[in-house]
Amino acid sequence: MAFKKEPEYRHGTLPRTAVVLVNLGTPDAPTAGAVRPYLKEFLSDPRVVEIPRLVWSLILHGIILPLRSGKSARKYASIWMKEGSPLKVYTERQAKLLQGLLGERGHEVKVVYAMRYGAPSMPQVLDQLKTEGCDRILVLPAYPQYSATTTASVFDAAFAHYAQVRNVPELRLVKHYHDHEGYIAALRDSVLAHWEQNGRGQKLVMSFHGVPKRTLLLGDPYHCECHKTARLLAESLGLGRDDYLVSFQSRFGKAEWLQPYTAPTLVQLAKQGVERVDVMCPGFSSDCLETLEEISMEVRHDFLTAGGKEFHYIPCLNDAPGWIRALTDIAEQHLLGWPTMSNAASREQAAREAEVSRRQAELMGAER
């Protein structure tokens, strides 16, 4: 096996710790020329499409890429920000803010972001961290709910990269945080802030990205984790079971996917006389094509055309302060045991622990 060339080893250099925030990815530009290679990489992942490779390759290159690249490019153009793709813009901001808050809490770590598909790629980012002396790597996927189609694919990319590395760093992987207290609180705060400013709809629809139903039947916990997130969020908002709905979006192909499907669900609500809905996408940590175009544009149109009066989209967590605090808490929990604290912070922590021990000893002495 041919290994990657190792950077020059320097004796006595203290190893560094890094956190890699990994999101799905995005094309570099809202053009067919940029969308096509992105779609090719994404849809070539066997974790994403579980169809025999030869059959799928013929479909992908003969039908999907020629027909879908231009259509997807136009959709990307409709949501493109001045700074670039929303998903990339918000992921970059999250990484910078996570770096800052970890630093405020006394951690000396480097925080970077990578994309599973597109740029900056995971191999590119992991190679750069290697040259910078990072020998402890925490991989933090931007997916709160675990799925083999998303989180496991990130793990695959990390393992495949390090299979070619001679001096492999310590590696930790965050599997999920769908029920994390801080994550649920950040979602709750985003809903309450929206209601305070815009009023409250008759139904709160929580739309998660869909996956084929067969993944659930084969043991993928994604469906259950989505419903747990929804239940915890509803409880934190004081909602009854009839006040909210869980649905799944972004179907692809003819196979059955997780149900109920988002667009038909909203159409049915409108036909049943529901005039106003609030729709959010808790499974996306950053706004992207699937939230800004599919939900806030396409599904909105479907609902209003079917007779609905008001469609309110509640943005993803993006760079909200509560979400950055939650992300920092999640990172801290998984960094536990690694020497990331600065000298001053370590001394402060040691002093606090010593004070706690002293008080406990005094209490025990008094009890005797």
pLDDT at position 14 is 78
Gap between the Cα atoms of 162 and 135, Å rounded:
12
Topology alike, domains 16-177+321-342 and 181-314: yes
Contacts 24+ apart (CB under 8 A), 98-103: 98/19, 98/21, 98/324, 98/327, 98/328, 98/331, 101/324, 101/325, 101/328, 102/19, 102/328, 102/331, 102/332
50 in a known ligand binding site:
no
What are the sequence ranges of the domains in the chain?
A: 16-177+321-342, 181-314
Mean pLDDT across the chain, nearest whole number? 94
Fold for 16-177+321-342, please state it.
Rossmann fold (3.40.50)
Q: By percentage, how much of the chain surpasses pLDDT 90? A: 87
Q: Taking residues 108-118, what's their average pLDDT?
A: 98
- Condensed to tens digits (0 to 9), the pLDDT of residues 144-167 reads 999 999 999 999 999 999 999 999
Per-residue pLDDT, 89: 98
Note the CATH number of domain 181-314: 3.40.50.1400
| Eight-class DSSP state of 342 | -
**Phi, psi of 145, rounded to the nearest 5 degrees:** -100, 135
Site of tokens 């740029």: 119
Residue 290 marked ligand-binding: yes
Residue 368 has pLDDT above 60, yes or no: no
Question: In angstroms, rounded to a whole number, what is the distance separating the alpha carbons of residues 231 and 104?
Answer: 33
- Of 190-194, 239-243, 248-252, the poorest mean pLDDT is in 248-252
Give the residue among 44, 121, 38 at the shortest CA–CA distance from 72: 38
- Residue 326 confidence (pLDDT) above 80: yes
pLDDT on residue 349: 56
From CA 139, how far away is CA 153, in angstroms rounded? 12
The helix/strand/coil state of 88 is helix
pTM of the model: 0.91
190-211 confidence digits (pLDDT tens): 999 999 999 999 999 999 999 9
